Amino acid sequence: MKITNIKAVYPKYKAIPSSWRTHLWQIVVKIETDIGIVGYGYGGGGKASVEVINHHFSEILVNQNVDTVDDISKIWDQIYFESIPYGRKGIAIMAMSGIDLALWDLLGKAEKVPVYQLIGKRNKDKVRSYATGTDPNWYAEMGFTAHKFPHRWYSDQDYDSAILQSKIAREIFGPEALIMIDTYMTWNTEVTKSMSRHLKDFGIYWFEDVLTPDDLNEQSMLKESAKPTLISGGEHEFTHHGFKDILNTNALDLWQPDITWCGGITAMMKILDLANSANIPVVPHRGGEIWGLHLIVSSSCDDLAEVLPGTRDAIKDNLWIGEPNAENGFISPNNKPGFGVELNEELC
């Protein structure tokens, strides 16, 4: 099939996250073909990314053929090359992720198979999911047995808040649960070392993003003192080229690429090859969204998918109709062709 039209849209979100996400949150990519099949993808980079796609990538894509996974790979290489002057990391790759996912959706629909079947042999029936957020009681009620809470470092008193939150989480979810902490790049080397001591009785599975993605050597030096807690990260890294630096510096115990930011499935497969070469576990960022879920069930990713239920009574935007929810702490993609979801046109 031949690509006839590409359009990126920034949805009319009602429940938008704050800060940089206000105008730069997730975009929808729609790719049309000459046989009437339409592919949808989800990318990052917001309004800036929409411009990149509609005013550059669309020119590269029109009239290209998409009949095999190899075709998608060639298109990926071409877009990557053409965007090198302003790309390689950040918004250009976030935009490209949306394109890549839309192409996989197209191919799945054309072959009438779910995307996970195009990726490889399905090796997980349902995936254990972990709830990220600030409403642990509700998550436990819903049946989650794994939970990650945010913690930010502002002052010395924040040791106490981290201890308190860890204690509460451990009490709510019990001794067997996985408990993780996302520090969103606000801890530093000294804080992380002290936290390892303060929190050692709570059996924290990982500390996420303790430093920035530019501090790879520093993170590699923290791994020993954090043990058995893992030092994780990677949601702000891009493509296999970026992850090669993480591998070469031995910076992280566990990788968390975001499939809608790091270059889509095509980049993820190469990132997984790198991870496998050093036996590094991969737990995709927001892996419980439909895009990551298809990859997780058919690849060497860990049996763990992040979901963000928010809080009990919060308003939510249901952008993708048919996207599965976690049930009793497990989540699974449906077996419809492509990613198996439809766009809620009211939001676009």
Nearer to Mg ion among residue 165 and residue 298 (C-beta): 165
- 288 beta partners: none
Give least dist CB 168 to Mg ion, A: 20
147 in catalytic set? no
Name the closest residue to Mg ion (Cβ): 182
- 132 beta partners: 148
Nearer to Mg ion among residue 130 and residue 320 (C-beta): 130
Give least dist CB 182 to Mg ion, A: 4
Q: Which of 147, 236, 240, 285 is catalytic?
A: 285
Nearer to Mg ion among residue 50 and residue 268 (C-beta): 268
Yes or no: say if 303 and 126 are a contact pair by the CB < 8 Å rule.
Answer: no
Span from 154-162, 174-182, 192-200, 218-226 in contact with Mg ion (CB under 5 A):
174-182
Site for Mg ion in 185-204 (CB under 5 A): none
Contact status: 289 vs Mg ion (CB under 5 A): no
How many residues make contact with Mg ion (CB under 5 A)? 1
The Cα-based distances of 289 to 57, 59, 111, 175, 330 in angstroms read 25, 29, 22, 27, 13
Give least dist CB 114 to Mg ion, A: 27
Span from 25-33, 80-88, 182-190, 301-309 in contact with Mg ion (CB under 5 A):
182-190
Tokens linked to 255: 């990788």
Cα separation, 324 vs 279, in Å, equals 30
Measured on CA atoms in the order 131, 136, 138, 143, is the torsion positive or negative? positive
Give least dist CB 208 to Mg ion, A: 5
Span from 35-43, 47-55, 95-103, 178-186 in contact with Mg ion (CB under 5 A):
178-186
Span from 11-19, 71-79, 179-187, 300-308 in contact with Mg ion (CB under 5 A):
179-187
Yes or no: say if 96 and 107 are a contact pair by the CB < 8 Å rule.
Answer: no
Give least dist CB 235 to Mg ion, A: 5
Site for Mg ion in 137-166 (CB under 5 A): none
Nearer to Mg ion among residue 32 and residue 182 (C-beta): 182
The amino acid sitting at 226 is: A
Nearer to Mg ion among residue 183 and residue 266 (C-beta): 183
Nearer to Mg ion among residue 124 and residue 148 (C-beta): 148
Among residues 105, 182, 258, 289, which is the contact residue for Mg ion, using CB under 5 A?
Answer: 182
Span from 14-22, 102-110, 175-183, 273-281 in contact with Mg ion (CB under 5 A):
175-183
Tokens linked to 265: 């499935």
CB atoms within 10 A of CB 321: 10
Give least dist CB 138 to Mg ion, A: 20
Chain residues that interact with Mg ion, rule: CB under 5 A: 182
Catalytic positions, please?
285
